[in-house]
Amino acid sequence: MNRKDGFSQAILDWYDRNARELPWRRLGGAHPEPYHVWLSEIMLQQTTVVTVKPYFNHFISRWPQVSDLAAAELDEVLTAWAGLGYYARARNLHKCAVAVCHNYGGSFPADEAELLSLPGIGDYTAAAVSSIAFGKRAVVVDGNIERVVSRVYRIADALPQAKPVIKAHADVLTPSDRAGDYAQALMDIGSGVCTPRNPKCELCPVASFCDGFSAGDAETFPQKAPKKKKPTRKAHIFWIENGRGEVLVRRREESGLLGGMMEFPSTAWQEQAPVPDEVEALLTQIGVEGTSKPPVTTELVRHTFTHFHLELTPHVVKAGEAGGSGSNDAFWLAPDAFSTIALPTLMKKVVQSVFKGQGSLDL
């Protein structure tokens, strides 16, 4: 048997014995629901299975069909997504559900090219849905599969430039039959056997096909280009409270980082140190009257995004009895209603900083 056939057969045999049971999977030959596969794959990007499971179960019980998700308000979806990060995905998730209902009568297309035309579906997700949900042959390459393939072939090019080379090799290995099971098996092997550190080659079904194992240097693959140091951006953020104990929140721009999510007003996030007396300027800009007491600064909030670290200095500001009316994009909300809005993890950290020493707020 050549490497290609032997490799995929060994992978499939292993899967029949070791497949993980996951809420979005169907074992024993049946294809899972395309809606479940798509939802789980979008959620799993940059996040672990353990984190995703409760979110997946919540979404499926709340919106059992893709048409239910399409009919939901975007805000409800963003709120349910809060904590998974990368909120542009949640917005695209909703857009995609709407497009599936409008353009395909509520049934996901099986064809990779058609899937690719839907919002938020890229090469990887299109291949995963097409193969896992419909059994079509498609070359699925996620981070786990990338690692396995780069070790099996000892691919010398560094990521990300190596991606096309890895995909070409993955294509050679992908079988025509049971392509979905094969992809899921490789994902499982990548996450549980061919781990980034200390791969368990003694348990691996494809050790006899693996050049990295033979050479004894598997762990050095995939090769990676040196990482650039992330810059640190800083800003002042304001917890502005009116006489009724409500706090000013506003919605971020639809496009960009945390797009469409709610936030407390802040100065621009930039690498230069923020100017300390921006409070009054910001209050005027968002339509809040002058402060009655000087601001109180609470514990620094740190957060890391893909491309930069962020340090926010929170200030608690008492905005007088009436507290002004807020501007077009800002409104007053009692803290015990924060769980009803799409508040990202970063803003929850700000809430924790403000409440530190005064008990906690259930978000």
- The residue ranges that bind ligand SF4 (CB under 6 A) are 148, 151-152, 193-194, 199, 201, 204, 206-207, 210, 212-213, 218
CB-nearer residue toward ligand SF4: 14 or 38: 14
Residues marked active site are found at: 41
- Residue 297 belongs to what H/E stretch? strand 296-297
Please report the sign of the dihedral spanned by the C-alpha atoms of residue 103, residue 108, residue 114, residue 115: positive
Q: Measured from the CB of residue 66, what is the shortest distance to ligand SF4 in angstroms? A: 36
Q: Measured from the CB of residue 220, what is the shortest distance to ligand SF4 in angstroms? A: 10
Measure the CA–CA gap between 99 and 67, rounded to whole angstroms. 10
Q: Measured from the CB of residue 191, what is the shortest distance to ligand SF4 in angstroms? A: 11
- The backbone torsions φ and ψ at residue 357, rounded to the nearest 5 degrees and listed phi first, read 85, -5
CB-nearer residue toward ligand SF4: 152 or 237: 152
* CB-based contacts of 52, cutoff 8 Å, min separation 6: 40, 43, 44, 84
CB-nearer residue toward ligand SF4: 34 or 190: 190
Q: Measured from the CB of residue 44, what is the shortest distance to ligand SF4 in angstroms? A: 21
CB-nearer residue toward ligand SF4: 166 or 193: 193
Measure the CA–CA gap between 13 and 2, rounded to whole angstroms. 16
